[in-house]
Each structure stands twice: as structure tokens, then as C-alpha cells.
Structure 1
Amino acid sequence: MTAQFRFPRFFVTTPGPCPYLPGRTERKVFTELSGPNAADLNDALGRIGFRRSQGVAYRPTCVDCQACVSVRVVAHEFKPNASQRKLMRRHADLEVSQCKPWTTEEQFALLRRYLKARHPGGGMAQMDELDFADMVEQTPVKTNVIEYREPAVDGRPGRLVGACLTDVQADGLSMVYSFFETEDEQRPGLGTFIILDHIRRATESGLPYVYLGYWVEGSPRMQYKTRFRPLERLSAGGWHRFDAPHPVEKAEAFFAPSKLSQLI
């Protein structure tokens, strides 16, 4: 009998500087996502800690280091703390749109501002418009760009203040990459708001999880991910609740019961 799926071939990158922990090196294992079973393969690999980049699924496989830990929010159990509820109210006027994975000049300009402010020396800092188009448009799975805009003025679309490249997986939404205005005093916390909106979308779609990528112990810029509880982390024994210390704030129900919407 012919096997239904061909077992993927995996490759390992050469070691390079770690982007999260100074003085360390990183190495990744990866495989190609292609053919009619690309989405199923991506779903299966996502459940064991892989991430997608264009037509490739990858995960860290560093020698003597396991600092990168896959994390996901349990969407239907999530309850916001006081500061998160405040952000939801503050940005409630934003118009959120689900777009096909096609790039625009406006998105690229926002990305450039975001990278300049947050990651000026990062690996994406030198991206041009073609690189950005490849990142967004080369996808073998169901992918959307979620845009966040200020209210329309005189019938014209409002200013784009945030965007997220999002994969729809069988068990959740995977936030591949988000970018947003970082220096607008009237729009603080947009990164947090985008995650909160994805938790809402997953809950309304009946999807149990929102995948946030990797949490890196010892990397300050990754600590924001621990603010979304309950959070699960992947270990050799499977997924289990994250137990890192975090501030305790009174929480209340985030979503009222509603009819499940279609997958985004």
C-alpha cells in the first residue's frame, strides 16, 4: 500500500549568532512546505514547535541551549487583566480588516518604521519591498493579513497603525509576524492589542489556541508573551501550563457567549 504522506526531509542550518541571547549561537532544523499536503504538514509541525516562514517550517535546534520555548495562549480560557481591558477600550475605535496575503506600499512603510524603532540592527532591517512581498505572499497555507486602521475620514480609509501576518491552522491562529506604530502617544500598546484581537478571533472561530512563537528565557523583549494567561509551553513531555512568575491582577470574562463565526 502506498503511504498517504511522504515523510518530509529535514535539514539543519549552519550555526550563526543568536538574535536573542548575546554571545550565543543558533542553529535551526527546517523542511519545505509544498504540494497538496503542505497545510496538513504545517499543522502537524506547528503542534511540535515549528514556525512557518514563506514555504519553510523551522524550529531551533541549538547545541547545549533550549532557551527558545514554543508558547500558545489557551484562547477560550483567557481573561484580560486591568491594563489589557483598558487597551481594548482605548483602541475600540480601530477598524479591523481581514485581507488576502498581498502586500501594499502602506504596509511596507509601516514595517520600515516599526523595524527602525524596535529592531534597527536585526536581520530584517535591510528588507526591501521584494523581500517583504516574499514574506507575505509566498505561503502554501491559509494565510491572512489582519489590518488595524484608524476610523475612515470623508469616506477614505483611515491611517494604517498595525498589521499581522496570520496563519489559520487546524487548532488555532499562528501569529507569524506583527508590526505597528511604536511612537504614537495616542496609540500605546498596539502590539498587545493585536494579540488580544487574535485571541478574540480564535475564540469566536472555535479555535482553541493562539500561537505566539517562541518565548526566550533571559531575553527581555520576549517577556511580554507571559502576560497572556493561561499560556502553554512546549516541552519534551508535550504542552503544559506556563508557570513563570507574573503580576496578579483582577480579571473578568473577556468574551460574552456568541455564535461561532467562520474561520478568519
Structure 2
Amino acid sequence: MTAPFRYPRFFVTSPSPCPYLPGRQERKVFTELSGPHAGELNDALGRIGFRRSQGVAYRPSCAGCSACVSVRVVTDAFRANATQRKLLRRNQDLHVTACRPWATEEQFALLRRYLADRHPGGGMAGMDEDDYSDMIEHSPVNSVIVEYREPDVDGGPGRLVGACLTDRQADGLSMIYSFYDPTHADRPGLGNLIILDHILRARAAGLSYVYLGYWVKGSPKMAYKTRYRPMEMLTPMGWRQMPAENPTEADAPLRAVA
């Protein structure tokens, strides 16, 4: 006899200031991811707009506001535009490796530089090494940390310039958190490169989507997520293709970083 399936219990956080839209309050609904079925639960919740943070799956549940919209890139249909193709060519010398989710001092130092430049005073600004280790290593699902390294003098993997904590779900890759060297004068656009590389990885693995989390219309912090078309957005009627805003540059097949 097998144990009966235990339905998850959901909880709601207290309201707090919204980090994306000034003057608004955010609230989240969440549940624990644990036990032998954590991966299956995470997959199911991911398809209805939840995100993972360590052993918790959450989604916005804000009173009177639905600005946060789950978005995902359709990998098979995606075609790189001219700017994205140039970015891939410029960084084709990088060594890209999917590693087990183990925190390192080098990763944490890169994260600190990223936060200081891009998100000073943000919610993660006070993160210490133990907090970072918890974020990377405490995963109840199939996770990796993808590292992006410049070649050393012998052509092998050298300095770390980017990283992304990534979950492998049944239908796609979920980019949990990415960070990179924001002041590298010779490699602008590393954040965009990491997304392009994940689209390649998902396509090569036969996965249909790359989940980018939440897009918030009117938030400059989230505008970059709409650069990867076709993109689907989660609506009350299910996943629907995001309407095109402007004509795009000529499309071309997407090629691997390295």
C-alpha cells in the first residue's frame, strides 16, 4: 500500500512595499516544496505561475493588483535578431558549464559586485555567504548552477563572469536567479547572453520553454524580458502569446555560445 498523496498547504504573507511599482503593496501566496514529490509539485506549480526560492514555491497574490505576469520563451520558435546574433558571436569564446548547485567564494564575490552595481539597497543587498549558500544549495528539485568563464592564457576556463541558478522542469528550464560582472567593459550584455544560452540549452534538451519569472508592465527593471519573442504570458485563460509591440529585426537561427 502506498501513502496517500498529501495536497500542499498554502499560506499568504503580510503586505510589504512593492519592489517594482512605487506606492503599491505586494503579497505572496506560498507553499513548501519537500518530500519525494517536490519536483512534480514544482513542475505543476510552475505551469500556473509559481516560482521557486529554496524550498518554497510562491506567486504574487496582491490585493487589487495583477501587474506581475508570468512569462516564458517558446524555444523552438525563437529566432535571434541581429543584435542577439552579434552578442553570441562576441562571446563565443566563453566556457559554459552546468555545475552541481554548490556555492563558491568566487560566485559570491561576483554576486556582491553585481548587487552593488545593479541593485544597491535592494532586498538582497545584505546577503552574506551563508545566505548565498542557502539560496544555491537548498534545492529540493533538479537544479544546476550554470557558470560562464572567460578563457585563461592557455585557452581553458578562467575568470568567472556570469552565473545562473537554474531548475530543470518537465517542460522547460526555469531561471531562478542570474548574476554577472556588470562593469566588464569588453563584455556588455552578459545578462542577455545568459538568457540566450538558456534558450539554446532548453532547445537542445528537447524542452519547450525557458521560464523568466515575472514581467511587470511599466517597470524598467523588467523591460528586458520582452526582448525574446515569441513569448507567452500567463493570463486568466491560460498561457497566451504576448502581442508584438514593434517590428523586429531580421530573424536568423540561434547558434550556441560555445
CA separation of 1:246 and 1:110: change in aligned 2, threshold 3 A = farther
CA shift, 1:157, in A, is 3.8
CA shift, 1:246, in A, is 3.7
- Contact 1:226-1:244 at 8 Å conserved across structures: no
CA separation of 1:244 and 1:120: change in aligned 2, threshold 3 A = farther
Matched, 1:231 2:231: yes
Distance (whole Å) between structure 1 residues aligned to residue 255 and residue 87 of structure 2: 15
Distance (whole Å) between structure 1 residues aligned to residue 153 and residue 118 of structure 2: 29
Distance (whole Å) between structure 2 residues aligned to residue 149 and residue 87 of structure 1: 16
Identify which range, 35-44 or 3-12, moves more after superposition. 3-12
CA shift, 1:56, in A, is 0.1
- Contact 1:101-1:143 at 8 Å conserved across structures: yes
Deviations 1:159-190 (A, max 9, x none): 10000000000000000000001111101000
Matched, 1:248 2:238: no
Distance (whole Å) between structure 1 residues aligned to residue 192 and residue 247 of structure 2: 16
Partner of 2:49: 49
CA shift, 1:152, in A, is 2.6
Distance (whole Å) between structure 2 residues aligned to residue 66 and residue 25 of structure 1: 12
CA shift, 1:4, in A, is 4.8
Partner of 1:79: 79
Supply the RMSD in Å over aligned alpha carbons.
1.5
CA shift, 1:245, in A, is 1.2
Distance (whole Å) between structure 1 residues aligned to residue 158 and residue 4 of structure 2: 48
Gaps of 5+ in 2: none
CA shift, 1:154, in A, is 4.2
CA separation of 1:24 and 1:74: change in aligned 2, threshold 3 A = same
Matched, 1:107 2:112: no
CA separation of 1:192 and 1:247: change in aligned 2, threshold 3 A = farther
Alignment of 1:39-188 (within 5 A): 39-154=39-154, 157-188=157-188
Q: 2:36 corresponds to which letter in structure 1?
A: P
Q: 1:107 corresponds to which letter in structure 2?
A: Q
Identify which range, 150-159 or 14-23, moves more after superposition. 150-159
CA shift, 1:253, in A, is 1.9
Q: 2:219 corresponds to which letter in structure 1?
A: S
Deviations 1:178-222 (A, max 9, x none): 000111110100000000000000000000000000000110110
- Runs of 4+ aligned structure 1 residues displaced above 2 Å come to 1-5, 152-157
TM-score, normalised relative to structure 2: 0.96
Q: 2:234 corresponds to which letter in structure 1?
A: L
Q: 1:11 corresponds to which letter in structure 2?
A: F
Secondary structure, aligned partner of 1:226: helix
CA separation of 1:246 and 1:213: change in aligned 2, threshold 3 A = farther
TM-score, normalised relative to structure 1: 0.94
Partner of 2:206: 206
Gaps of 5+ in 1: 257-264
CA shift, 1:39, in A, is 0.2
Distance (whole Å) between structure 1 residues aligned to residue 7 and residue 95 of structure 2: 43
Identify which range, 167-176 or 144-153, moves more after superposition. 144-153
Sequence identity of aligned pairs in percent?
69
Partner of 1:13: 13
- Contact 2:73-2:210 at 8 Å conserved across structures: yes
Secondary structure, aligned partner of 1:77: coil
Distance (whole Å) between structure 2 residues aligned to residue 223 and residue 40 of structure 1: 31
- Contact 2:98-2:144 at 8 Å conserved across structures: yes
